[in-house]
Amino acid sequence: MSSGRVYRFAPPPEHTARHLFVFLHGSGATAQSMIPIAFRFQARFPSAALVLPSGFDPAARGGAAQDWFPTLGLNDENRYQRVTAVLPDIEDLVRREQTNFGVTADRTVLIGFSQGGTVALEAVKSVSGLAGAVVAYAARFARLPREGTRIDARIHLVHGELDSVVSRVHAERAARVLGALHVPVTLDLVEDLGHALSHRAISLGSLRLLQGIYEGRRATLH
């Protein structure tokens, strides 16, 4: 795997790591750009360890901007192939950090924006038992899950109503398909938001994650 910068933040000293949150940035962004978002999540989950890796695409390396997979000539025909090509590296990264922080897969959450959200969605679709939940902002599946697909993660989709880069239609379709597959899914459309992360969008994502964790706990108690 390429050796891009990885930022790691352990929980405050009074907390042991009980969750692992892996933040995957958008296309042309950096791991650093996700730090404010990561701290917003940690404020709601003080026992979470935060990991913010840099994109793997070597063509984007050297400059400030990073990508997870090549974007030059990207289209609906080659998107799935390009995303799945990086999933082994994503799995290696997540498994390594789970070992590093002593956190199990069911307490691991992938949180991604745009291209990073697509990678997160495809990772839990393709790699069984990788993470317990995904929070995907302004993202889409590279290829919608097919009938009979088993996804053992909760999926929280947050999308700007005015997103002209990744249409909200992708999130709406994903929510319908996941629901039909009996995958726990939430979809929040944020008014007056384009292809961006806002205070409200970040809050909604962390709130849905918190609600999903509590619902999961309640289900195991019954």
How many Cα neighbours within 13 Å face the side chain of 7?
Answer: 17
Q: What is the structure's pLDDT at 70?
A: 81
Q: What is the DSSP string of 28-57?
A: TB-GGGGHHHHHHHHHH-TTEEEEEEPP--
DSSP state of 152: -
Q: List residues with catalytic annotation.
A: 114, 163, 195
Q: What is the structure's pLDDT at 18?
A: 95
Q: What is the structure's pLDDT at 74?
A: 84
Q: What is the structure's pLDDT at 1?
A: 36
Model confidence pLDDT, tens digit, residues 166-201: 999 999 999 999 999 999 999 999 999 999 999 999
Q: What percent of the chain has pLDDT over 90?
A: 77
Average pLDDT of the residues of the chain: 91
Q: What is the structure's pLDDT at 65?
A: 64
Domains in the chain: boundaries: 6-221
Q: What is the structure's pLDDT at 221?
A: 47
Per-residue confidence band for 217, with pLDDT thresholds at 50, 70 and 90: low
Of 7-11, 59-63, 72-76, 82-86, which gets the smallest average pLDDT?
59-63
- Give domain 6-221's CATH number out of 3.50.50.60, 3.40.50.1820, 3.30.2350.10, 2.30.30.30: 3.40.50.1820
Q: What is the structure's pLDDT at 73?
A: 83
Which amino acid does the sequence have at 14?
E
* pTM for the whole structure: 0.93
Region 70-78: what's the mean pLDDT? 83
